[in-house]
């Protein structure tokens, strides 16, 4: 077993990626692809798994766009029919007109289901409609705005912790991603679970520790995830690889802790000792969900909720440090809008103030445009269909690079790659129509 373990270590996987890529290039001309008439890029799953860690997500598709500037669709991968949409105008065929002809690939759903259960991100069809209908109330703006003071307080706690960290290290350089993950976990803990993690204050919490271990991707975890997504978790489980045991331990522990938290919350509600608004309380009080279903929603909140927000916060801070003039303008806008006695005046409508700051919101939208939390998505054709007039047979994977779409000059103009919050603001200082649509979608 020790020998096999060494064979499946990172150096061997590197060799496997190289060999697989050679086979892909050599064998691809003989592969009976239904899309052989389209432009083709020879990129194997293992090769992608190795390069994605060290490059910004989506760069691969920007390079393909330069290599094939006239192509609307490009065939990817050598051992499975995969097509990447390069023309943004064709997205409507996939996401609107023919959306019921596509679903998430089973190999991806099975892997994510092991982490998230049958949460809102995983389920489809009527089950998705039911979950969305019965959970949307928790995310209505009238509820979210009540959480703004708590979020502001957590932001102040983070600022204090950062100052202490810099003073202790005698450096002005901060590794922000870890801190962003802690503060967003603290916020999602209170807003979603009614639970205080106090991760910024470095309080030990079993659930927070498991989340950190599961979501902190080192090279081997990333390769495990990429291979599982490429060929399916059931196949990967047949491999005598230590990552299988670690993955089983982490996901199992996360499930047990969520069930324990659910049990405690239900007991508090029954004893009328819980009057706090949070997503977990709302789901329990609705009586629309089994304990298993509620647990799955908790997993989705924890695993998918706080890390995506942490990523956006990190990128926003990065962009502001790269553009000090924008940082100064933002600081001025916020200082002019907020009352001096903010912390002592409970009558202040913090949500109303911040939601109406055009430059602040423009920076948020622009950050999400340039650095989307989900840079790529895949849909699997469950029926024969068409995209842009091109026949797409059942079984074909359709890849959408959100990163590439969000940086397409065709949509955003010649300055598509630039960080320019003003593109979301009209000349009168109000938000553009596109920004209003984004605000409506997210509120």
Q: Which residue has the tokens 């649509």?
A: 437
Domain boundaries, the chain: 2-107+375-411, 117-311, 323-372+413-443
Beta bridge partners of 73: 85
Report the distance separating Cα 379 and Cα 101, nearest Å: 9
Distance of CA 389 to the CA centre of its chain: 31
Q: Give the CA count within 13 Å in the CB-facing half-sphere of 389.
A: 3
Q: For residues 97 and 61, is the Cβ–Cβ distance under 8 A? A: no
**pLDDT for 442:** 39
What would the two tokens of residue 412 be? 């955003």
Residue 231: name the closest of 39, 49, 407 by CA: 49
**pLDDT for 340:** 83
117-311 matches 2-107+375-411 in CATH topology = no
Bridge-based pairing of strands 73-76 and 102-103 is unpaired
Please provide the DSSP assignment of 37-97 as one string: TSEEE---HHHHHHHGGGS-TTHHHHHHHHHSTT-SEEEE-SSS-EEEE--GGGHHIIIII
What would the two tokens of residue 261 be? 């938290």
What would the two tokens of residue 228 be? 């599982």
**pLDDT for 30:** 45
**pLDDT for 55:** 62
Q: For residues 187 and 154, is the Cβ–Cβ distance under 8 A? A: yes
Among the residues of 117-147, which ranges form H helices? 125-135, 141-144
Q: For residues 250 and 168, is the Cβ–Cβ distance under 8 A? A: no
Q: List CB contacts of 244: < 8 A, sequence separation 6 or more.
A: 236, 237
Residue 112: name the closest of 395, 304, 374 by CA: 304
Q: Which residue has the tokens 């790529």?
A: 376
Q: List CB contacts of 25: < 8 A, sequence separation 6 or more.
A: 42, 78
CATH number 1.10.20.10 is the correct assignment for the domain at 117-311: no
Report the distance separating Cα 79 and Cα 24, nearest Å: 8
Report the distance separating Cα 432 and Cα 416, nearest Å: 17
Tell me which CATH code domain 2-107+375-411 carries. 3.30.43.20
pLDDT < 50 positions in the chain: 1-32, 45-46, 49-51, 438-443
417 secondary structure, DSSP code:
T
**pLDDT for 231:** 84
**pLDDT for 351:** 92
Task: Encode 281-292: b = buried (16+ Cβ within 10 Å), e = exposed.
Answer: bbbbeeeebeee
**pLDDT for 366:** 97
């Amino acid at each position: 077993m020790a020998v096999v373990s060494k064979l499946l270590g990172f150096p061997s996987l590197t060799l496997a990626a190289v060999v697989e890529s050679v086979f892909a290039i050599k064998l691809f001309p003989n592969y009976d692809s239904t899309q052989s008439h389209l432009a083709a890029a020879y990129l194997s799953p293992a090769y992608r798994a190795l390069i994605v860690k060290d490059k910004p997500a989506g760069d691969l598709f920007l390079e393909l766009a330069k290599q094939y500037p006239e192509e609307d669709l490009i065939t990817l991968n050598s051992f499975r029919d995969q097509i990447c949409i390069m023309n943004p105008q064709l997205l409507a065929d996939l996401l609107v007109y023919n959306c019921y002809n596509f679903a998430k690939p089973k190999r991806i759903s099975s892997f994510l289901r092991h982490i998230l259960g049958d949460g809102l991100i995983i389920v489809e069809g009527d089950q998705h409609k039911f979950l969305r209908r019965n959970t949307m109330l928790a995310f209505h703006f009238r509820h979210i705005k009540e959480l703004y003071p708590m979020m502001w307080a957590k932001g102040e706690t983070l600022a204090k912790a950062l100052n202490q960290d810099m003073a202790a290290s005698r450096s002005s350089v901060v590794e922000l991603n870890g801190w962003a993950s802690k503060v967003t976990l603290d916020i999602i803990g209170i807003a979603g679970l009614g639970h205080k993690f106090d991760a910024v204050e470095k309080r030990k919490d079993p659930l927070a520790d498991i989340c950190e271990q599961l979501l902190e991707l080192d090279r081997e975890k990333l390769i495990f995830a990429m291979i599982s997504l490429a060929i399916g978790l059931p196949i990967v489980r047949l491999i005598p690889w230590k990552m299988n045991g670690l993955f089983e331990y982490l996901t199992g522990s996360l499930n047990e802790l969520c069930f324990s938290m659910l049990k405690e919350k239900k007991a508090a509600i029954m004893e009328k000792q819980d009057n706090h608004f949070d997503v977990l309380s709302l789901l329990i009080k609705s009586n629309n969900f089994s304990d298993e279903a509620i647990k799955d929603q908790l997993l989705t909140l924890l695993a998918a909720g706080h890390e995506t927000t942490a990523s956006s916060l990190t990128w926003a801070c990065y962009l502001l440090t790269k553009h000090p003039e924008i940082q100064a303008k933002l600081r001025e806008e916020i200082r002019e809008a907020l009352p001096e006695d903010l912390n002592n005046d409970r009558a202040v409508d913090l949500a109303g103030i911040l939601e109406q700051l055009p430059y602040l919101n423009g920076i948020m939208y622009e950050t999400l445009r340039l650095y989307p939390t989900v840079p790529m998505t895949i849909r699997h054709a469950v029926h024969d269909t068409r995209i842009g007039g091109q026949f797409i047979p059942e079984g074909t994977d359709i890849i959408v690079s959100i990163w590439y779409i969000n940086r397409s000059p065709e949509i955003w103009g010649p300055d598509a790659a630039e960080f320019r919050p003003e593109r979301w603001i009209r000349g009168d200082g109000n938000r553009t129509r596109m920004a209003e649509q984004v605000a409506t979608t997210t509120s």
